[in-house]
Amino acid sequence: MTPPSTSSQGVQSNSQAVLLLRLAGPLQAWGSRSAFNRRETNAEPTKSGVIGLLAAAAGRAREEPLDELLPLRLGIRVDQPGTLLRDYHTVSDYRGRALPQAGVSAKGLQRPTSPPKHTHVTTRYYLQDSVFLAAVGGSRELMKTLDHAVRAPAFPLALGRRSCPPTQPVSLGLREGSLEDVLGDEPWQASRRAREQYAAQCGRERDLDRPLYPARIDRSVTIEDPEGDDVLHDSPVSFDPYARSFTSRRVRHGWLSIPTGFPQPDTNVTDGQDEAAGHDPFALLGW
């Protein structure tokens, strides 16, 4: 007969948990595709970017298999969409030589451009002043390990690209429940400035001479779901520089009414029914 303590440990090891990550920083870049002279960004974090952040925190080399991380489920909540930044680059050889071609010869050598080209123009896109809440679901033991790793990362963490460090804190800890329930219960993570701008806008829309602090706000979410009606090609299979590969996953998009977290929300504003807080599409964009 199995002792009670062993049985309870077995239940504990098979239980599920959700790790909440606050992805915020001056710049973010979550590209699911790129070219040599053009690096784009998606409007919200990709699964490959979030898994890459967790792998870096855990000290995994790029060549290591991702077997343990691949089954993790991901939900993204857009708390502050931010704005798109276009960064213009030029590349040249400081020695004045013509730049090499992108392709290589049979000997593995790059030929110079013909006719000679001394400057390449490259364009990179970033999200600036964005805040996302990522919910990562998996086994409790793995989530505990990843939570500890994010709090004391082995390698520097980045929001999609190495040049985009996150602000702190990144980990908000472990939660119980489904991805949708966890994302719906966590208070709004937007910056203080964005929150105050939203309260001021709500007051103006009600013709008040003061800010209005509603209890809830609607935020868009993307949740991984095998029955979802949209397909994203951003699930990593390998980060090996010589064998990078990705696969598709199904997701569903929607909206959640979440607590704003204002210290003293206006009691006369009903949850999900306020015309200023919940039904103005420009308010949802933070305008």
pLDDT computed for residue 279 by the predictor: 45
Query: Which residues on neighbouring strands pair with residue 217, listed in sequence order?
Result: 258
Q: Please tell me the predicted confidence (pLDDT) of residue 237.
A: 92
For the chain, which residues make up each domain, given as ranges? 15-90+117-177+231-256
Could you tell me whether strands 73-80 and 83-91 are parallel, antiparallel, or unpaired per DSSP bridges? unpaired
The 3-class SS string of the chain reads CCCHHHHHHHHHHHCEEEEEEEEEEEEECCCCCEECCEECCCCCCCHHHHHHHHHHHCCCCCCCCCCCCCCCEEEEEEEECCEEEEEEEEECCCCCCCCECCCCCCCCCCCECCCCCCCEEEEEEEEEEEEEEEEEEEEHHHHHHHHHHHHCCCCCCCCCCCCCCCCCCCEEEEECCCHHHHHHHCCCCCCHHHHHHHHHHHHHHCCCCCCCCCCEEEEEEEEECCCCCEEEEEEEEECCCCCCEEEEEEEEEEEEEEECCCCCCCCCCCCCCCHHHHCCHHHHCCC
pLDDT score of 129: 95
pLDDT at 287: 45
Query: Rounded CA gap, 149 and 68, in Å?
Result: 15
pTM: 0.81
Q: What is the pLDDT of residue 272?
A: 43
Please give the pLDDT value at position 108: 74
Write out the two tokens for 119: 């400057």
Query: What is the third-level CATH fold of 15-90+117-177+231-256?
Result: Alpha-Beta Plaits (3.30.70)
Report the alpha-carbon distance of residue 125 to residue 105 in Å, rounded.
31
Could you give the C-alpha distances from 44 to 126, 129, 174, 223, in angstroms and in order? Answer: 11, 12, 22, 12
pLDDT tens, residue order, the chain (287 aa): 444 444 334 444 459 999 999 999 999 999 877 666 788 899 999 999 999 999 999 999 999 999 999 999 999 999 999 999 999 888 888 888 888 877 777 777 888 787 888 888 888 999 999 999 999 999 999 999 999 999 999 999 999 999 999 999 999 999 999 999 999 999 999 999 999 999 999 999 999 999 999 999 999 999 999 999 999 999 999 998 888 899 999 999 999 999 999 988 776 664 444 444 444 444 444 44
Phi, psi (5° rounding) for residue 6?
-65, -40
At 73 the pLDDT is: 97
